[in-house]
Amino acid sequence: FPPLLQKGSSPVAPVHVVNDESADKTNLGFIHAFVAAISVIIVSELGDKTFFIAAIMAMRYNRLTVLAGAMLALGLMTCLSVLFGYATTVIPRVYTYYVSTALFAIFGIRMLREGLKMSPDEGQEELEEVQAEIKKKDEELQRTKLLNGPGDVESGPGTTIPQKKWLHFISPIFVQAFTLTFLAEWGDRSQLTTIVLAAREDPYGVAVGGTVGHCLCTGLAVIGGRMIAQKISVRT
């Protein structure tokens, strides 16, 4: 019996230890990626164009609709960026680390240069630019409504009810918030940073951290964007 017990028990302990070690490494990788992504997003998104889009639209329209549209766009963009970054993992990890480190260094130097050249009232200029863009979109929306008219009288009342139900779920404000945020975020430094992070960190941690970071920034913008924009120096 002792030899049998030894044979039966000896392989169990190492397997258990390996599983614990791999689980710890996975958890640490997720936490590290989560913290890296959320910190980068919060720093880069506060006072950014997407921040002002949410802030200005929330002052003019329903806050929940604006928040839902903006968050859907940012969540989708984060997931796409993580997928792009994860696709580069086919390259050997050594090269990925070198390339990503070089890219982070370039981003850092660029941001320092932008900060040195930036005027103290940079945030106000960005705010005015976004206001003009939203005003232009509103005018386009009004023109579309005038061209389409109140609806076809011959079609009867039966067709107008489903249209109202459809618009109740997907309102023009929701579409506007989604479109403006998605286009503003495409090619933005936070998107590029998310791609680079996903190439070297745990992709799930980056996706969750990036989404939570966007949630916090967009939530702050919707609640009191103008007040926060006046208090925060983009240059700092």
80 falls within a domain: yes
The confidence score (pLDDT) of residue 230 equals 65
The confidence score (pLDDT) of residue 160 equals 41
The confidence score (pLDDT) of residue 21 equals 61
Q: Which two tokens stand for residue 229?
A: 């924009």
215 falls within a domain: yes
The confidence score (pLDDT) of residue 100 equals 82
Q: What is the mean pLDDT of residues 96-120?
A: 82
166 falls within a domain: no
- Give residue 49's pLDDT band: very low, low, confident or very high (50, 70, 90): confident
- Give residue 169's pLDDT band: very low, low, confident or very high (50, 70, 90): low
pLDDT(233) > 80:
no
200 falls within a domain: yes
Q: What is the pTM of this model?
A: 0.65
Q: What is the mean pLDDT of residues 96-101?
A: 82
| pLDDT tens figures, 125-163 | 666 677 777 777 777 777 776 776 554 434 444 444 444
55 falls within a domain: yes
The confidence score (pLDDT) of residue 122 equals 62
Which comes out higher in pLDDT, residue 167 or 50?
A: 50
Q: How far apart are CA 195 and CA 100, in angstroms?
A: 9
Q: How far apart are CA 143 and CA 63, in angstroms?
A: 24
Percent of the chain with pLDDT over 70: 71
The confidence score (pLDDT) of residue 125 equals 64
Q: How far apart are CA 219 and CA 196, in angstroms?
A: 25
8 falls within a domain: no
- Whose CA is closest to 205, among 9, 32, 12? 32
Q: How far apart are CA 39 and CA 210, in angstroms?
A: 9
Which residues, 6 or more positions from 59, have their beta carbon under 8 angstroms from its beta carbon?
A: 225, 226
16 falls within a domain: no
Structural domains in the chain (count): 1
The confidence score (pLDDT) of residue 154 equals 41
The residue with tokens 């040195």 is 116
For the residues of 31-51, what is the DSSP string, one character each?
Answer: HHHHHHHHHHHHHHHTTSHHH
Q: How far is CA 154 from CA 21, 145, 149, 158, in A?
A: 71, 19, 13, 11
Domain assignment of residue 57, given as a range: 30-117+190-235
Percent of the chain with pLDDT over 90: 14
Q: What is the mean pLDDT of residues 88-111?
A: 82
Which comes out higher in pLDDT, residue 179 or 90?
A: 179
> If you average pLDDT over every residue of the chain, what do you get?
76
| pLDDT tens figures, 71-89 | 999 999 999 999 988 888 7
CA angle, residues 26, 32, 38, in degrees to nearest 5: 130
145 falls within a domain: no
